[in-house]
Amino acid sequence: MKKGNRSFGKILMALMIVFFYLPILYMVIFSFNEGKSLTSFTGFSLRWYKHMLESQDMMEALYTTFGIALLATFVSTIVGTISAIGLSKSKKIIRNLMEQVNNLPMMNPEIVTAIGFMLLFITFKVEKGYVTMLLAHIAFCIPYVMLSVMPKIRSLDPNLADAAMDLGATPWQALTKVIVPEITPGIVSGALIAFTMSVDDFIISYFVTGSGVKNLSIMVYTMSKRVNPSINAISTLVVVIITVALVIINVAPMILAKREKKTEMAKRKIFVPALAAVCIIALVIGIFNIGGKGSSLPYEGQTLYVYNWGEYTGENLIAMFEEQTGATVVMENFDSNEQMYIKVANGEAYDILVPSDYMIQRLMQEDLLQPLDHSRLDCMDNLVEAVVGLPYDTDNSYSIPYFWGTVGIVYDKTKVDVEDLEKEGFNIFLDEKYKGDIYLYDSERDSFMMALKALGYSMNTEDQDEINEAYDWLVQCVETMEPEIVTDEIIDNMAQGRKALGLIYSGDATYVMSENEDMGFYLPEDGTNQWSDAMVIPKNAKNPELAHEFINFVTSYEGAYDNSSYVGYTSANQEVMDELSGEGGDYEGIDAYIPRTDNEKDEVFVYNENTRKIISNLWSKVKIAASNAR
């Protein structure tokens, strides 16, 4: 019986190891994938490692992650150890009280701690960036160090320090030569926990950073919003770095034990973790390389702060602009217009924003933008006529288009009959023939647009009855059709043909169709959203002159081509759009790349705060209905 239990235990342990390490193995394998897919291996290649090493953002994130982790570990270990030793000599009531206070940060949800730090820095007007992230990491690491050290201190003879001083030791010698060596295992374990917590942290880092400072967790989060296999390469590199460090820490002492006396070995044990840290730093610095800039360039030494959507910039765009101007570009990323608005409304300074149409209208209404100086712009003649003078900014006084497109239906030609699409339009999402085989996009605006257009209404309606009808339409959809509500994961999933159809942005459909010839894109005749994202300059921008130069470069042929060819969204530059969609172009024959401009029922979103709140509340109810229907 015992033998059977042991066998079962071994099998269970093996399954647990597979469960924990199989995803890592999967990630490592796909880091060598030739294609862009995150799920389909198309051949061996080092292209994503090359892309990673050439990416200044990724290398900076790697450097920031380990730099902050090592500094936070060093400081928090010293402070936590001294605090724990001091508490051990305090009165019992004070010691118990402080131990409870020490437990609070570990028991608090991270989001609460993150918001607390953010409000603290905002209140004292501390500019967020590297220093604020480091201070936050030190603060949340200290309790873990104290928690590791305190049990070791309790196990010591309380008279140990006194005995050392009776024998002639000074208080400092008693501390460093008697107490610390006895509690070294607790200190080391606390330091390792602190290092792990710092490298792993995302939520707190996300709320306390600024000025373009990103660690790996923020970078990976940004990259995961769209298809970018470099996420696998940089994650694999982290695994390699940590594995090397663990090997040094664990193997080196065993090798030294065979060659050194025990007394010397004790000294080496203290040295080895430090050696591992030095090796990590050397490795990171060795691969971290930022190219220098010429000394005769017009904006040498200046910095441009850009706030843009994640994975929405050509892979060479920033480097080309820096090389041309001598300036440094610091880019931060957001994943919703509302997230961007909160930062701008709270006074955070950027030189360039790239919001969507309706959000530009809101920013204009609230006087958060400065008018563009058209005498500094030479790009207007380059632009596609369809995205010039849109309703939210009729004379482009505040905005210059960045990308544009539509929202339509991506579908699998082998599963969906085109006649169904032509007959039903967006109502195909209620056709039970495709039950359980559809994606809805987790966007209140686009989902209500689909429902309103399916019902024959304007997507900018303010009529409460029409909005309620659209709500009922969406509830019927989620209750009867069993859709999967997703965001950008629809891109790779549809490229792999996992569902029959889904709601998607035209730029994402362009990528899907380029990856899978069985995929098509359809725009219902009842109309859709013709959206545009545009570059604007906030009122509190610190470098508007350089911002105008950036706008000129992004809309030039060179910048626009790199942007659109890499991201896949439609360029606002007429020449680039024609070339990429024409014969021999990257998107030849892919109709999703060229937005429709001849349908009178297509609309541009208009900002209305009251309607936005109503639709936001109703969309939350739709998702609850979807959860209950499963």
Q: Quick one: pLDDT band at residue 409, thresholds 50, 70, 90?
A: very high
> Does 303-403+533-581 match 404-531+587-629 in CATH topology?
yes
Q: What local confidence, expressed as pLDDT, does residue 11 receive?
A: 84
Q: What is the pLDDT of residues 28-70, one digit of tens each?
A: 888 898 877 777 788 888 888 888 887 777 888 889 999 999 9
Angle at 83 between CA 77 and CA 88, to 5 degrees: 125
Tell me the residue type at 470: A
614 vs 246 pLDDT, higher one: 614
Q: Quick one: pLDDT band at residue 315, thresholds 50, 70, 90?
A: confident
Q: How many CA atoms lie within 13 A of 295 on its CB side?
A: 0
Q: Quick one: pLDDT band at residue 337, thresholds 50, 70, 90?
A: very high
Residue 423 has pLDDT above 80, yes or no: yes
- Can you give the pTM of this predicted structure? 0.77
Domain 303-403+533-581, CATH class in plain words: alpha beta
Q: Quick one: pLDDT band at residue 226, thresholds 50, 70, 90?
A: low
Q: Which of 167-171, 223-227, 453-457, 560-564 has the lowest mean pLDDT?
A: 223-227
Q: What local confidence, expressed as pLDDT, does residue 459 receive?
A: 97
Domain residues of the chain, as ranges?
Answer: 56-228, 231-290, 303-403+533-581, 404-531+587-629
The Cα-based distances of 108 to 114, 123, 435 in angstroms read: 10, 21, 42
CATH assignment, 56-228:
1.10.3720.10
Percent of the chain with pLDDT over 70: 91
Point out which residues pair with 440 in neighbouring strands: 485
- For 89, the token pair is 């000599």
Q: What is the side-by-side order of every strand in the sheet holding 328-334?
A: 328-334, 303-309, 352-353
Residue 224 has pLDDT above 60, yes or no: yes
Q: What local confidence, expressed as pLDDT, does residue 273 receive?
A: 52
Residue 582 CB neighbour total at 10 angstroms: 10
Point out which residues pair with 410 in neighbouring strands: 502, 521
The Cα-based distances of 543 to 327, 537, 546, 548 in angstroms read: 11, 9, 6, 9
Residue 293 has pLDDT above 80, yes or no: no
Q: Position of tokens 């297509």? A: 602
CATH assignment, 404-531+587-629:
3.40.190.10
Residue 586 has pLDDT above 70, yes or no: yes
Point out which residues pair with 521 in neighbouring strands: 410
Residue 391 has pLDDT above 80, yes or no: yes
Tell me the residue type at 520: G
